[in-house]
């Protein structure tokens, strides 16, 4: 229970929160197994679930008609870009704070580099994407590295970066309780399902579809996918 602490207490050390996360990832190998915390074997299951979810979003009338630009947030070595986003979008930009991972991404994505656009080496708490550019902004297993205030600010920046027909997709672990849980090893938090929905609303988004990722190993957090769009679109 030591890790289950109030987020408001934890983010008092905001500077350390982000610095400790950066230090943790500096020690992680630039491999699929490293990106997935030693669970590299779940990558195919994860991608299959994401493909099914993304393809279901193409069925929504008036959404994602062009599929020109996608943004992969917390892109790591490009696992999601290469195995998912470049299959459906003409150009994919990557944002990842660790430059070592982005260098490896250029090798990992060698067969799809013709569909890769910009590489942004910056933390999401400081990233402001280009306005009106993206059809889809994909955020997976990275938002636990942002405190609530910075997450809301990031979502609001994303709101401006989406085309009027665009969507933001969030794929994250959620806690099985109503308690925010803190992992001090990688300096991240895992939020309850209800907290994520509240943050979407505070950021000016509404959830139009959600789905649980199945066939994950026992003992891991539940994983949910959310498609959210700006409330005024």
Q: Which residues are annotated as a binding site for S-adenosyl-L-methionine?
A: 74, 79, 124-125, 140
Residues forming a β-bridge with 167: 136
Cα–Cα distance measured from residue 185 to residue 192, given in angstroms and rounded to the nearest whole number: 20
From residue 146, give the alpha-carbon distance in Å to each of 1, 24, 171, 221. 22, 15, 14, 18
Q: Residues forming the annotated binding site?
A: 74, 79, 124-125, 140
- Of 139, 142, 145, 143, the C-alpha closest to 188 is 145
Residues forming a β-bridge with 91: 69
């Amino acid at each position: 229970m030591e890790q289950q602490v109030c987020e408001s207490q934890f983010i008092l050390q905001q500077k350390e929160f982000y610095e400790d996360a950066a230090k943790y990832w500096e020690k992680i190998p630039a491999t699929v197994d490293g990106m997935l915390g030693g669970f590299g074997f779940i990558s195919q299951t994860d991608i299959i679930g994401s493909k099914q979810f993304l393809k279901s979003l193409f069925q929504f009338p008036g959404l994602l008609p062009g599929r020109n630009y996608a943004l992969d947030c917390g892109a790591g070595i490009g696992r999601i870009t290469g195995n998912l986003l470049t299959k459906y979008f003409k150009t994919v930009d990557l944002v990842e704070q660790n430059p070592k991972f982005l260098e490896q991404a250029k090798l990992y994505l060698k067969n799809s580099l013709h569909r890769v656009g910009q590489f942004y080496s910056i933390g999401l708490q400081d990233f402001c994407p280009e306005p009106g550019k993206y059809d889809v902004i994909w955020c997976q297993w990275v938002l636990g590295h942002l405190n609530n205030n910075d997450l809301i600010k990031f979502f609001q920046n994303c709101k401006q970066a989406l085309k009027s027909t665009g969507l933001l997709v969030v794929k994250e672990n959620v806690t099985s309780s109503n308690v925010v849980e803190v992992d001090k090893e990688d300096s991240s938090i895992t939020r309850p399902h209800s907290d994520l929905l509240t943050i979407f609303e505070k950021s000016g988004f509404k959830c139009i579809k959600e789905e649980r990722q199945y066939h994950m190993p026992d003992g891991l957090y539940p994983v949910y996918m959310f498609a959210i769009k700006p409330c005024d679109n």
